[in-house]
Structure 1
């Protein structure tokens, strides 16, 4: 039972996951960010950044206005 629960834990929920370095391109693709937001994150951090920083600074804009 514990094994199946462990398999459902995402990368962001694991202890110490915020310290992992992520590709900004991969982060933007995974979280479906607009190209403009991806470029903003690239200007802030370069090609890699910690997951914690990316999650704290990424902005998703609603498609419905």
Structure 2
């Protein structure tokens, strides 16, 4: 689920960086096929929602190719 571009994690409209998308960490982890351990790490770091920019910058994917 992608949240409104103008809504911040605390529900205040218009604060934060303009045009920033807030995502559910659960939805982000599912969409990017992150391991449960990585999902939990992001939840500890950001809580249930975070900006897409922060999630993309901090998510670690398990390397499938050795």
Give the TM-score normalised by the residue count of structure 2: 0.68
For residue 26 of structure 2, give the secondary structure of its aligned residue in structure 1. Answer: helix
1:15-54 equivalences under 5 Å are: 16=19, 19-54=20-55
Greater Rg by CA:
1
For residue 54 of structure 2, give the secondary structure of its aligned residue in structure 1. Answer: helix
Moved over 6 A (4+): none
Q: Distance in 2 between matches of 1:42 and 1:61?
A: 17
1:21 shift after superposition? 0.5
1:56 shift after superposition? 0.2
Q: Distance in 1 between matches of 2:64 and 2:57?
A: 21
Aligned residues: 49
Hey, what does 1:8 align to over in structure 2?
none
What runs of 5+ residues in structure 1 fail to find an aligned partner?
1-10
1:64 shift after superposition? 3.5
Hey, what does 1:62 align to over in structure 2?
63
What runs of 5+ residues in structure 2 fail to find an aligned partner?
3-18
* Structure with the higher helix share, 1 or 2: 1
